[in-house]
Amino acid sequence: MANPVILLLAITLLVVLVVGHGVLVTLPRLVWAQLHTVWRTFGRAAQTPPDPQGEPAIPAYLRVTGPRDLRATWWDGLEQHERLMGDAERFVVGRVSDAFRSSQRGGTRGQGCLMVFLRPAFLLTAVAVVLTATALSILPLLFALLVWALSCALWSLWWAVGAAVARTGRALRGWPAPCPYTDCGRTIDRPVRLCPTCRARHRQLVPGRYGVFHHRCRCGTRLPAVLGGRRLDACCPHCGKALPAGCEQARVVVLVGGSATQRAGVHRQGLAELGATPGIEPPLVRTAGTPVLWYDPPGDAYGSQESAAALDVLRRAHGLLLVVDDPAAHSDAVHAVIRVLHVLTALPPRLRPHRLALLYTQAVRDDATAVRAQLDEAGGGHLLRALDATRIPVRCVPAAALAGTVRWLAGTAGTAGSGESMAPPPVGPPENTTFRFPRHRIARHTLLLAHLAGYVVIPFALVLLQTGALPPSAFFGLPAAYDKWQHPLTSSVHQVDLTAAATRDWPQLSASYSAPGHPPSAALPGHGGYWSVKGSPRKDNWLRVDFGMPLPLSEVSVDFDPDSVTSIFSPGADVEGQVGTRTVTFPSGHPHEKQQGTYLTKEYGFDDPVPEAVDSVRIGLGSVFDKDNREEQRLRLREFNIRWSSSDALRLHPTGGGGLTVENATARDLAITVRPPLLPAGWHATPVGRPPRILGAHDTYEARWRITAPKGTTGRAPVAYAVDITEDDHTVTARCLALLTASGAAEPLC
């Protein structure tokens, strides 16, 4: 490799090899690796495992698994990029080693010199390839993110509806409620529901991350999260014991007293009188269809103020039965009652019990008045005053007939009768322990289609833009911008107002009637007046603009004084053209509107497109709704404009003697076609010379015609010049007007 020519040739070939390998091998492999990653994540629809946070349910795909899949797709694609670029670098090093391997074993010469030239080429190629592959991957990801975001928005709306229904249902059913078991009694905001198939415990069976109206258990069973959840077996989230059906609707009556032994005796007596077996767990009794929880806290629950305040059941109690054997202020029973009253005083009014009953064990069968008198005589007046200070209805009862007292405290005093205990249903064994994880095929395949749409959207958009199938204003004007970029001549076309160049000789204006001081010429642009037919003896008045020859117009604009328009619809006017004796109807175009108040608008003008060349334009007044011609008399035509389209890529300058100077205003060569001039009837133009097909950048060419006028012509006649410009199979036209005399003198109007 001592020959520098051979070395230079080898370097050139290796650079071409590096660039070609990057473009033809590495780039397709990167795109294919990204497609394979997308297919592996969304196409195969792998199983979705349960939530690792502990809930035995499958998370909702849009809420949890979808973002994980999208994130995994992106990061896995980046890892594939890193691996494939490493393969490309090893390919370059391997080719250099093979090309410059020394004849000596294990020796190489010239590799360092070559890598000095190949390393920049490889880095530039790698950057270009990676950026191209990333750009091709970002758009599909953005499409998938857009679909996922829209789906999440709909899912959130669905979740709001489900959450509102679920919250309303829980409030109507009575949750939160206390646990009915004596050794628990804590407030249950939401019970734990058991799967009927695998007996898994679901603590979050509400609309959320696991679904809106249904949750899918780890065994595949669909569990209702909004309606029908109460049919599932439930247990307490604190003690884990099974809850009887309807326990959340139970009326809670709490037993308050000094010693646990005395309270236990009263509790057994109350259960027996209610018709239940003493000592049952939970102490729930259904009397005349209404559940009653006859609750006695375990142990020395009222031994201190802290232990009494820790009883959640006091905050959910419907009534309290206060047991007192000694009304003296120093007795344990009175201390327990006072502690409970302190707790009730600290509660908000909506959480306080509705009724209180003071059970005096020394009274056996007297009525409430007699029991109250006995308490007062025994020194319990302070206790009665403390109870009356709570402003809660209080009843003093004897030790006998506890069932009636319990029913009164529960608010079911009029439903006397035998009760029945409410034992929880037996917990059945699991029916199936086989886990069937869902695959979320519909959701995953939707995101897969979004990715594939992202890959084909650019070619599809280019096809639509290339064929011009989209309207120019679609997608924030993207088709128009693309057309201007691809066809620079498109941006050179503008609307030219012909009436702005009107003279006394052209165009010819006529009207059926004009009010004094308001001729048709007053409505020309820049004149500051208006045309009016006030005082006209006829209906359906009109104004005509005669050009003397057919002109390829683009649109006609008509503006009335907004104060003169009284119709709630469009102004009573129409525009039409004429070619000889044939009338050309113009289609309706864009209206001109003015805001009238907050919601109403008034139309005072319009822009009508012109479908073909016409030699005159007629603006007619009158409407089928204007029976007495009053609206037509009020209308004031403030301005009318007649336009055609022309390109400023060429500057046209009419000259005397039938000449036209054509100047290329661009910095590139243009293909031009000079059209014969448009002349009135009787005028003739004969070309002199042959115009060029290509006009160079900033070049000028003068086209000439021999123009002859009819005999006896003394005035000036209009002439319209037109030159077509073609570039990239796209043609526009530059136009110009002039007034010619019979002697060939020209007055440009452009």
pLDDT value of position 525: 92
Higher pLDDT, 298 or 83: 298
For residues 338 and 347, give the distance between their C-alpha atoms in angstroms, rounded to a whole number. Answer: 15
Lowest model confidence (mean pLDDT) among 26-30, 147-151, 327-331, 597-601: 597-601
Inter-axis angle of helices 441-467 and 474-486, nearest 10: 40
**Is the pLDDT score of 110 beyond 60?**
no
The domain made up of 496-644 has a fold known as Jelly Rolls (2.60.120)
User: What is the per-residue pLDDT across 497-526, written as a single tens digit (0 to 9) for each?
Assistant: 999 989 988 999 999 999 999 999 999 998
The CA-based dihedral angle spanning residues 76, 79, 80, 81, taken in that order and rounded to the nearest 10 degrees? 130
Instruction: Grade residue 30 by pLDDT with cuts at 50, 70 and 90.
Output: confident
For residues 363 and 373, give the distance between their C-alpha atoms in angstroms, rounded to a whole number. Answer: 10
**Helix, strand, coil percentages for the chain (3-state, nearest 5):** 35, 25, 35
pLDDT value of position 228: 77
The CA-based dihedral angle spanning residues 389, 394, 395, 399, taken in that order and rounded to the nearest 10 degrees? -80
Instruction: Grade residue 111 by pLDDT with cuts at 50, 70 and 90.
Output: low
**Is the pLDDT score of 338 beyond 70?**
yes
pLDDT value of position 116: 67
For residues 677 and 8, give the distance between their C-alpha atoms in angstroms, rounded to a whole number. Answer: 63
For residues 509 and 617, give the distance between their C-alpha atoms in angstroms, rounded to a whole number. Answer: 10
Task: Provide mean pLDDT across the span 134-148.
Answer: 85
User: What is the per-residue pLDDT across 231-279, written as a single tens digit (0 to 9) for each?
Assistant: 888 889 888 888 888 888 888 999 998 888 888 888 888 888 888 888 8
Instruction: Grade residue 104 by pLDDT with cuts at 50, 70 and 90.
Output: very low
**Is the pLDDT score of 73 beyond 60?**
yes
- Find tokens 């909506």 and name the residue: 350
358 Cβ contact partners less than 8 Å away, ≥ 6 residues apart: 322, 324, 371, 375, 383, 384, 387, 394, 395, 396, 397
Lowest model confidence (mean pLDDT) among 78-92, 346-360, 548-562: 78-92
Task: Provide mean pLDDT across the span 591-612.
Answer: 88
DSSP 377: H
Burial class (CB in 10 A: 0-12, 13-18, 19+), 150: exposed
User: What is the per-residue pLDDT across 190-246, written as a single tens digit (0 to 9) for each?
Assistant: 888 888 888 888 888 888 888 888 888 888 888 888 877 778 888 898 888 888 888
Higher pLDDT, 451 or 81: 451
Of 218, 229, 236, 224, residue with least CA distance to 52: 218
Higher pLDDT, 300 or 49: 300
State the distance between the two ends of the chain, measured CA to CA, in whole angstroms: 72
Instruction: For residue 497, list its beta bridge partners.
Output: 643
For residues 450 and 16, give the distance between their C-alpha atoms in angstroms, rounded to a whole number. Answer: 37
Structure tokens at 197: 């198939």
Domain ranges for the chain: 4-170, 177-235, 250-421, 496-644, 650-748
Put simply, whether the predicted model's pTM sits higher than 0.75 gets the answer no
For residues 165 and 229, give the distance between their C-alpha atoms in angstroms, rounded to a whole number. Answer: 12
**Quick one: which H or E segment has residue 695?**
strand 694-695
Instruction: Grade residue 432 by pLDDT with cuts at 50, 70 and 90.
Output: low
pLDDT value of position 630: 80
Structure tokens at 468: 């011009």
Contacts for 599-605 with beta carbons within 8 Å, 24 or more apart?
602/562, 602/565, 603/565, 603/569, 603/570, 603/571, 604/559, 604/560, 604/561, 604/562, 604/565, 604/571, 605/557, 605/558, 605/559, 605/560, 605/571
**Is the pLDDT score of 651 beyond 80?**
yes
Of 724, 575, 743, residue with least CA distance to 650: 724
Percentage of residues in the chain with pLDDT exceeding 70?
91
Is the separation of the CB atoms in 50 and 218 below 8 Å?
Answer: yes
Task: Provide mean pLDDT across the span 478-497.
Answer: 83
The DSSP-derived string for 475-494 is HHHHHHHHHHHH-GGGGGEE
In degrees, to the nearest 5, what angle opens at C-alpha 713 toward C-alphas 707 and 719? 45
Task: Provide mean pLDDT across the span 633-641.
Answer: 93
- Ranges of beta strands (E only) in 457-537 are 493-497, 508-511, 531-532
Task: Provide mean pLDDT across the span 531-535.
Answer: 92
User: What is the per-residue pLDDT across 702-719, written as a single tens digit (0 to 9) for each?
Assistant: 999 998 888 888 888 999
Reply yes or no: is the peptide bond before residue 282 cis, omega within 30 of 0.
Answer: yes
Name the residue type at position 717: A
Instruction: Grade residue 434 by pLDDT with cuts at 50, 70 and 90.
Output: low
**Is the pLDDT score of 174 beyond 70?**
no
DSSP 552: -
pLDDT value of position 99: 58
Phi, psi of 670 (to 5 degrees): -125, 140
Taking the domain 250-421, which CATH number applies? 3.40.50
**Is the pLDDT score of 452 beyond 60?**
yes
Q: Does domain 650-748 have CATH number 2.60.40.1230?
A: yes
Reply yes or no: is the peptide bond before residue 654 cis, omega within 30 of 0.
Answer: no
| Chain centre distance of CA 469 | 27
Question: Average pLDDT, whole number, for the chain?
Answer: 84
Instruction: Grade residue 106 by pLDDT with cuts at 50, 70 and 90.
Output: very low
Phi, psi of 248 (to 5 degrees): -70, -15
Is the separation of the CB atoms in 439 and 65 below 8 Å?
Answer: no
pLDDT value of position 107: 47
Of 603, 622, 532, 542, residue with least CA distance to 577: 542
**Is the pLDDT score of 652 beyond 90?**
yes
Instruction: For residue 285, list its beta bridge partners.
Output: 292, 421
- Find tokens 């229904």 and name the residue: 165
